Amino acid sequence: MNSDAILGRVLLEESREAVVILDSNDIVIGASRRARQSIQDLKEGERVPEGLLSGDAGVVPLIVPFDADGRRERLVYLSQAGDLAAYEELRSGFTAAVSHELRTPLARLLALLETASLPGENVEELIERARGEVEQIKELIDEVLFLSELESGSRVVSLGAVAVKAELEAVVEELADRAARAGVALQVDGDPEIQLEIRPRMLRVIGQNLAENAIRYAGPGAHFTLAIERAGGVIVLRGTDDGVGVPDDELPRLFERFYRADRARASRGTGLGLAIVKHVITQAGGAVEARSTSGAGLEIRCVFPARA
């Protein structure tokens, strides 16, 4: 298989859409992971399931014919009825949320600049505080753009295997100074031989956001551990702290964009960190959940399929 064919296979596999390639006899030549997971009885080398191309199977097909080395084939995009309206509603809500989140640091920045123009004020201190607001705005914009790239599929999440523990240790080393200032101890546990089929950059994104969540919210004196293990045929990555914890009724909302629990609303976090974690993990074929630990604290449990 040449490099172009390999690239095409990767792009098809990692597409966020349900995409199927058919030959002239309606035999499935290839299919994206999402198509295989969402469409029953869809198998490469076999005829496309009945009703899929007519729309009778509950999906809406968009068929794009093309020629491949003299063969007539078809690229079929499949979506659920109502997906477009739901997407437009989601996009509208996301835009409104971003606008709302940007207003607060912008309003604080404007107030600081206006105060700096008054006689007798400590201009250097105000400029330093204004710089902090600019950094907050930059962080929010960077994370919004990163999340957008994940959702558009322009960021490939899974591509080759990587040793997990070494990447997590690099994350902890990078965040050591911030953690020390917050009074939070960081550590990494687990088997150094465990590998995941995920890009190193994406694995570091998971570890960094889990650790930063603990640094911001666990509280002084807390301990946070990133641990990797095999359990029951899957690979589990856990981020666990023994800090102030999160009420049980708020746990399901932690992965929502811009959601922050009541105790975290005064923080400088963007409210996107755990949403990004969830998106990266689901694109890598995994699942994530938040749990309360015994007594106090929070555990984010990320479950990935083990390599065959």
Mean pLDDT of the chain: 77
Q: What's the average model confidence in pLDDT over 152-156?
A: 50
Residue 154 has pLDDT above 50, yes or no: no
Question: Within a 10 A sphere around the Cβ of 195, how many other Cβ atoms?
Answer: 17
What CATH class is the domain 83-152?
A: mainly alpha
The answer to whether residues 250 and 261 touch, using CB atoms and an 8 Å cutoff, is yes
The pLDDT assigned to 264 comes to 46
CATH, domain 3-80, list 1.10.3430.10, 3.40.50.150, 2.60.40.10, 3.30.450.20: 3.30.450.20
Question: Within a 10 A sphere around the Cβ of 69, how many other Cβ atoms?
Answer: 5
* pTM for this entry: 0.53
162-305, CATH topology level: Heat Shock Protein 90 (3.30.565)
Higher pLDDT, 30 or 97: 30
CA-to-CA distance for 208 and 273, rounded, in angstroms?
Answer: 9
The answer to whether residues 280 and 147 touch, using CB atoms and an 8 Å cutoff, is no
Residue 19 has pLDDT above 90, yes or no: no
Beta bridge partners, 63, equal 76
* From 40-49, 99-108, 172-181, 204-213, the region with the lowest mean pLDDT: 99-108
CA-to-CA distance for 241 and 295, rounded, in angstroms?
Answer: 11
Q: How are beta strands 185-190 and 223-231 bridged, if at all?
A: parallel
Residue 83 has pLDDT above 60, yes or no: no
Q: What's the average model confidence in pLDDT over 137-141?
A: 72
DSSP per residue, 29-75: EEE-HHHHHHSTT--TTSBPPTTTTTTTTSEEEEEEEEEETTEEEEE
The pLDDT assigned to 165 comes to 93
**Considering the chain, what percentage of its residues have pLDDT values greater than 90?**
17
Q: What's the average model confidence in pLDDT over 281-305?
A: 83
CA-to-CA distance for 277 and 255, rounded, in angstroms?
Answer: 8
Residue 10 has pLDDT above 70, yes or no: no
* From 48-62, 150-164, 270-284, the region with the lowest mean pLDDT: 150-164
Question: In one letter, which amino acid is 142?
Answer: D
CA-to-CA distance for 60 and 54, rounded, in angstroms?
Answer: 8
Show me where the domains of the chain are located: 3-80, 83-152, 162-305
The answer to whether residues 283 and 159 touch, using CB atoms and an 8 Å cutoff, is no
CA-to-CA distance for 199 and 207, rounded, in angstroms?
Answer: 13
Q: Where do we find the tokens 């191309």? A: 53
Residue 168 has pLDDT above 90, yes or no: yes
Tokens at 224, concatenated: 């946070």
The pLDDT assigned to 265 comes to 43
